[in-house]
Amino acid sequence: MSAPPVVDLPIEDERLAQDVTNGLAAVEKLLRSSVESEDAFVTEASKHLIEAGGKRFRTLMVLLAAQFGDASAPGVVPGAVVIELTHLGSLYHDDVMDEAPVRRGSPSANARWDNTVAILTGDYLFAQASDLLADLGPELIRVQAQTFSRLVQGQIRETIGPRDGEDPVGHYLHVLADKTGSLIAASGRFGALLSGAPADVEERLSRACEAIGVAWQLGDDLLDVASTGAESGKTPGTDLKEGIKTLPVLYALAAGDHPRLTALMSGPVADEDLDEALSLLRAHSGMARARAELDAWVDRARDDISGLPDIPAKDAFLALCDYVVERSG
Residue 152 is predicted with a pLDDT of 93
Residue 237 is predicted with a pLDDT of 87
Which pTM value belongs to this model?
0.91
Residue 5 is predicted with a pLDDT of 44
Residue 51 is predicted with a pLDDT of 78
Residue 242 is predicted with a pLDDT of 86
Residue 327 is predicted with a pLDDT of 87
Cβ neighbour number for residue 14 with a 10 Å cutoff: 13
Residue 8 is predicted with a pLDDT of 66
pLDDT tens for the chain, residues 1 to 329: 344 444 567 788 999 999 999 999 999 999 999 988 898 887 887 777 777 767 789 999 999 999 999 999 999 999 999 999 999 888 877 767 666 565 555 666 676 667 888 888 888 999 999 999 999 999 999 999 999 999 999 999 999 999 999 999 999 999 999 999 999 999 999 999 999 999 999 999 999 999 999 999 999 999 999 877 555 456 788 889 988 899 999 999 998 888 998 998 888 999 999 999 999 999 999 999 999 999 999 999 999 999 999 999 999 999 999 999 998 87
Residue 131 is predicted with a pLDDT of 95
